[in-house]
């Protein structure tokens, strides 16, 4: 077992450490969590799965309004929120605010027993980031051990971090107003010193999506596409497909496919050698998880997995339908809990299929549209979808949004930079794009996972290209009229309304929203030229 000397922490300004558990084994973490009050279950339903630790009621979700980025003068120009016109969810913080939150984190973490986990973000050795996480809560160490790429013993021996994360989730920023911050909670990144500080939020997603945000800064500047998508390939390791989508739109569910090999469920890069995962684990939503329709995710809930915010009855049976703590119930597990994965490195050739998952809460978009290259750019930049309940604090019902590149909260550069890199790679591999609505239609219900899976199968086996098609007005989408295993009555969204005029009215409203949202991209010739690919009233 690699050694870790406490004096390393002193270098970070963390003093008086009483004990350090450095990259502890799962067994040790399990014991530590139990001491912290987490419950391990090994009876009832869980017997079938193996013991799993369950933590409940600790967080409510990610806090985008508390996320701040600190840049030095040389890196400032590259960040797109510096332009008012394109302002995204990430706000700039001053050097003073940075110094203050770092001080709070150092104080919180001093004189404590600490967990230090070293992991990699990025499966490619030449572009990965070596990340050191320092925290005082055992399950957070477990979470990052599940989610990041676990170094070998040898790699741990001479691990030199490129990025350090100080997780001071028990502290608060009391003087946040003075510092120009939004609340007692802060998630702050210093892109120059390569550090992240987390204060007053226990949400593990801040560490996972935090390092993703940093990859989204560094990789595109090297000409590598950095993408909020899941990815899989066929059993020969070919025919890669990527699935973009905001949280809860189906990246994990649809990429976990027994017929295919999983590359990863959430964050990927695409360079000249192909598509690669940033992570070493998956983070699945488990609300209403059903053993029959999602057997692979269900079976991944076994020893070393970490369940969050589900309720467990006296017999140890998990109630996956209970949303009393949050709708954002989750399980994190190391990727090898899924049987069909790409091994030993989560990497596959350039993608042939690019799928945009949009959960349309208005019930307007067809369940699948075959996009032209110009529509691909327009709909990628628009990123129309819904924020689904739970993942973000304050979101309690599906809320329509335009989230550029299907991941606006995680972008640091201008959206056109991500579009540029994606399109370059797609043109080289001859990839085609599809817009898949995993949200609602005129029935008022969410499109079934069964129908969506049928659609994905038809995209992946190419049968969608032989299907008869028609055009949908206003959007000019080409949609298939029949696909094997998919209810033909849903393929044209107008057929799901009692009266097609109802669709028409909603479609007009949505088209208007697209047009309004896209104005921000029309400041140059390239953006103006894309308007023709968008909806028309």
Ligand X SMILES: C=C(OP(=O)(O)O)C(=O)O
Binding site as annotated, residues for ATP: 209, 228, 245-253, 294, 330, 446-447, 452
Of 276, 250, 274, nearest in space to 352 by CA:
274
Determine which residue in the list 391, 416, 437, 441 makes contact with ligand X, applying CB under 6 A.
391
Specify whether 268 is catalytic.
no
List binding-site positions. Answer: 62, 203, 209, 228, 245-253, 266, 294, 330, 446-447, 452
Determine which residue in the list 28, 449, 474, 500 makes contact with ligand ADP, applying CB under 6 A.
449
CB of 313 to ligand X, least distance (A): 26
Q: How many residues does the chain have?
A: 537
- The site partner of 205 among ligand ADP, ligand X, none (C-beta below 5 to 8 Å per kind) is ligand X
User: For ligand X, which stretch binds (CB under 6 A), given 84-92, 205-213, 423-431, 517-525?
Assistant: 205-213
Contact between 247 and ligand X per CB under 6 A: yes
Contact between 248 and ligand ADP per CB under 6 A: yes
Number of residues forming the site for ligand X (CB under 6 A): 9
Determine which residue in the list 6, 91, 194, 446 makes contact with ligand ADP, applying CB under 6 A.
446
CA separation for the pair 420, 258 (Å, rounded)? 33
Q: Which of 330, 337, 414, 425 is catalytic?
A: 330
Cα–Cα distances (Å) from 278 to 31, 122, 130, 507, in that order, read: 28, 4, 11, 37
Strand segments (E) across 367-515: 368-370, 384-387, 399-402, 432-437, 469-472, 477-480
CA separation for the pair 57, 322 (Å, rounded)? 13
Cα–Cα distances (Å) from 415 to 216, 260, 359, 377, 439, in that order, read: 11, 30, 20, 11, 24
Measured from the CB atom, the residue of 20 and 307 that comes closer to ligand X is 307
Contact between 447 and ligand ADP per CB under 6 A: yes
Contact between 245 and ligand ADP per CB under 6 A: yes
Determine which residue in the list 137, 287, 335, 350 makes contact with ligand ADP, applying CB under 6 A.
287
- For 206, the 3-state DSSP assignment is helix
CA separation for the pair 222, 113 (Å, rounded)? 39
Would you say 113 and 136 are in contact if contact means Cβ atoms under 8 Å apart?
yes
Cα–Cα distances (Å) from 244 to 220, 222, 252, 267, 305, in that order, read: 17, 21, 10, 9, 25
CB of 248 to ligand ADP, least distance (A): 5
Contact between 266 and ligand X per CB under 6 A: yes
- Residues ≥6 apart with Cβ < 8 Å to 108: 136, 168, 170, 171, 199
Specify whether 94 is catalytic.
no
Site for ligand ADP in 381-440 (CB under 6 A): 438
List binding-site positions for Mn(2+). Answer: 209, 228, 266
CA separation for the pair 329, 390 (Å, rounded)? 8
Cross-strand pairs, 226: 269
CA separation for the pair 110, 131 (Å, rounded)? 20
Mask for 302-341, x = binds ligand X (CB under 6 A): ----------------------------------------
Alpha helices (H) in 232-349, listed in sequence order = 251-255, 295-300
Q: To 10 degrees, what angle do helices 373-382 and 415-429 make?
A: 150
Contact between 284 and ligand ADP per CB under 6 A: yes
Specify whether 321 is catalytic.
no
Measured from the CB atom, the residue of 51 and 449 that comes closer to ligand ADP is 449
CA separation for the pair 405, 415 (Å, rounded)? 7
Measured from the CB atom, the residue of 261 and 284 that comes closer to ligand ADP is 284
Contact between 253 and ligand ADP per CB under 6 A: yes
Q: Which of 67, 102, 132, 209 is catalytic?
A: 209
Cα–Cα distances (Å) from 173 to 13, 89, 195, 317, in that order, read: 18, 20, 18, 39
Q: What is the DSSP track for 10-40?
A: HHTT-----EEEES--HHHHHHHHHHTT-EE
Give the other-Cβ count within 10 Å of 8's Cβ. Answer: 16
- The site partner of 438 among ligand ADP, ligand X, none (C-beta below 5 to 8 Å per kind) is ligand ADP
User: For ligand X, which stretch binds (CB under 6 A), given 201-209, 268-276, 449-457, 515-523?
Assistant: 201-209
Q: Which of 251, 337, 387, 432 is catalytic?
A: 251
- The site partner of 124 among ligand X, ligand ADP, none (C-beta below 5 to 8 Å per kind) is none
Contact between 205 and ligand X per CB under 6 A: yes
- The site partner of 75 among ligand X, ligand ADP, none (C-beta below 5 to 8 Å per kind) is none
Measured from the CB atom, the residue of 164 and 262 that comes closer to ligand ADP is 262
Would you say 338 and 405 are in contact if contact means Cβ atoms under 8 Å apart?
no
CB of 428 to ligand ADP, least distance (A): 26
Cα dihedral angle (12, 13, 16, 19), rounded to 10 degrees? -20
Contact between 285 and ligand ADP per CB under 6 A: yes
Measured from the CB atom, the residue of 102 and 228 that comes closer to ligand X is 228
Determine which residue in the list 14, 17, 55, 62 makes contact with ligand X, applying CB under 6 A.
62
Contact between 209 and ligand X per CB under 6 A: yes
Specify whether 393 is catalytic.
no
Of 172, 209, 254, 10, nearest in space to 90 by CA:
209
Interacting residues with ligand X (CB under 6 A): 62, 205, 208-209, 247-248, 266, 283, 391
Interacting residues with ligand ADP (CB under 6 A): 245, 247-254, 265, 284-285, 287-288, 438, 446-449, 452
Which residues does the annotation mark as catalytic? 62, 209, 228, 247, 251-252, 266, 330
């Amino acid at each position: 077992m690699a050694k870790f000397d406490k004096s390393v922490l002193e270098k970070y300004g963390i003093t008086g450490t009483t004990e350090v558990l450095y990259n502890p084994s799962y067994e040790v973490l399990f014991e530590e969590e139990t001491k912290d009050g987490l419950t391990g279950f090994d009876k009832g339903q869980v017997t079938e799965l193996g013991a799993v630790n369950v933590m409940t009621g600790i967080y409510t979700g990610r806090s985008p309004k508390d996320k701040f980025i600190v840049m030095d003068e040389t890196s400032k120009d590259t960040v797109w929120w510096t332009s008012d016109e394109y302002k995204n969810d990430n706000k700039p913080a001053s050097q003073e605010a940075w110094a203050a939150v770092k001080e709070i984190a150092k104080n919180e973490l001093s004189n404590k027993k600490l967990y230090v986990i070293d992991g990699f973000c990025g499966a490619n050795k030449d572009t990965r980031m070596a990340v050191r996480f320092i925290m005082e809560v055992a399950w957070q160490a477990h979470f990052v051990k599940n989610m990041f790429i676990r170094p070998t013993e040898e790699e741990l021996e001479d691990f030199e971090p490129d990025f350090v994360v100080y997780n001071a989730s028990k502290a608060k920023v009391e003087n946040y107003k003075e510092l120009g911050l939004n609340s007692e909670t802060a998630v702050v990144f210093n892109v120059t010193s390569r550090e992240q500080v987390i204060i007053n939020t226990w949400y593990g997603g801040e560490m996972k999506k935090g390092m993703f945000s940093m990859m989204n800064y560094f990789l595109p500047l090297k000409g590598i596409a950095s993408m909020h998508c899941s990815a899989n390939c066929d059993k020969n390791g070919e025919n890669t497909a990527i699935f973009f989508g905001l949280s809860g739109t189906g990246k994990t569910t649809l990429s976990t496919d027994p017929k295919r090999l999983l590359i990863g469920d959430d964050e990927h890069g695409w360079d000249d050698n192909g598509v690669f995962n940033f992570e070493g684990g998956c983070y699945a939503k488990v609300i209403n998880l059903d053993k029959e329709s999602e057997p692979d995710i269900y079976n991944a809930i076994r020893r070393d997995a970490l369940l969050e915010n589900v309720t467990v009855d006296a017999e140890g049976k998990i109630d996956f339908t209970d949303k009393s703590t949050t709708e954002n119930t989750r399980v994190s597990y190391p990727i090898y809990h899924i049987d069909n994965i790409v091994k030993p490195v989560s990497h596959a050739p350039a993608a042939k299929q690019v799928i945009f998952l949009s959960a349309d809460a208005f019930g307007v978009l067809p369940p699948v549209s075959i996009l032209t290259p110009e529509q691909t750019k327009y709909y990628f930049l628009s990123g129309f979808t819904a924020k689904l309940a739970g993942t973000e604090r304050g979101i309690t019902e599906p809320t329509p949004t335009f989230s550029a590149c299907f991941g606006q909260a995680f972008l640091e550069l201008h959206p056109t930079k991500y579009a540029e890199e994606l399109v370059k790679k797609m043109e080289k591999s001859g990839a085609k794009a599809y817009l898949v609505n995993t949200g609602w239609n005129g029935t008022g219900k969410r499109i079934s996972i069964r129908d969506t899976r049928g659609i994905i199968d038809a995209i992946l086996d190419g049968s969608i290209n032989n299907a008869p098609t028609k055009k949908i007005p206003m959007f000019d989408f080409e949609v298939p009229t029949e696909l094997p295993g998919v209810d033909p009555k849903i393929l044209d969204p107008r057929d799901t309304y009692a009266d097609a005029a109802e669709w028409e009215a909603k479609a007009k409203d949505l088209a208007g929203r697209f047009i309004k949202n896209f104005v921000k991209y029309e400041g140059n010739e390239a953006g103006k030229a894309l308007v023709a690919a968008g909806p028309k009233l």
